[in-house]
Amino acid sequence: MPQCTFLVYRDPKNLLGRILLAASDLGLCGVWFEGHRHLPAAAQLAFSGSPFSASPVSAQLFSDHPFLLQAQEELDRYFSKPAKPFTFDVPLDLNQGTVFQQKVWLALLNIPAGQTVSYQSLAQRIGQPKAVRAIGAAVGRNPISIVVPCHRVLGADGSLTGYAGGLERKKILLAGEGFRLATP
C-alpha cells in the first residue's frame, strides 16, 4: 500500500456505516467499509482509532488532503442522487495492484450506474475469457469501493455474489443506483 493519508467518512443517510477514504500523492487509493474483507493494516488502525505512531506505516488521520476532500464532496453528491448518472472525477492511484488487477479495476470504471455485468462478461471485456476466477479475485481485492464500482458485478445467473464490503451494502448501492434486484 502506498503512503496514505486517511479520512473517516459517513454517507449522508448513514446506510453504509463508516467509510474510510485513503489518498496518496497520486490520487484516491482506498475506499473501505468498516468490517471490509482485505482491509490493509493501516486502514484497520484508522478505523480502530489507534494512533499511527504505533504503526510502521506512514499515515495521517482526518487530513485535509485535497484528494480526500474532493472524494468526500463527490461521495456526498453520489449519495444525494445515486440513480442519476454520476462519474467520479477524483484522480485514482491503483498502483497497489498487479497489472492484471489494475486492468480489471479500470474495466469496472466502464460499468454505468444502474447496470451490472457478470464476471464472465468482465473477463471477455478485458480479453481474458477463461480467467473468470482470477477476475473474481481481482474484483474482490478492489481497494476503491464505490468509486471503482465492483458492486456492479453479479453472478452469471444475475445473482448477488460476494462483496468485500458485505452483501447488504452491495444491495443498498445497487438499489440506490436504480438497479432492481430479482426476487427469488
Q: Is the Cβ–Cβ distance between 141 and 100 less than 8 Å? A: no
- Using alpha carbons, select from 34, 30, 27, 29 the residue that is nearest to residue 10: 34
* 29 is an active site residue: no
d(CA 126, CA 31): 24
Q: Is the Cβ–Cβ distance between 150 and 167 less than 8 Å? A: no
Contacts of 71 (CB under 8 A, 6+ apart): 9, 21, 23, 28, 31, 88, 90, 147
Assign 74 to helix, strand or coil.
helix
- Using alpha carbons, select from 76, 83, 163, 89 the residue that is nearest to residue 119: 163
Q: Which of 22, 150, 172, 174 is catalytic?
A: 150
Catalytic site positions: 150
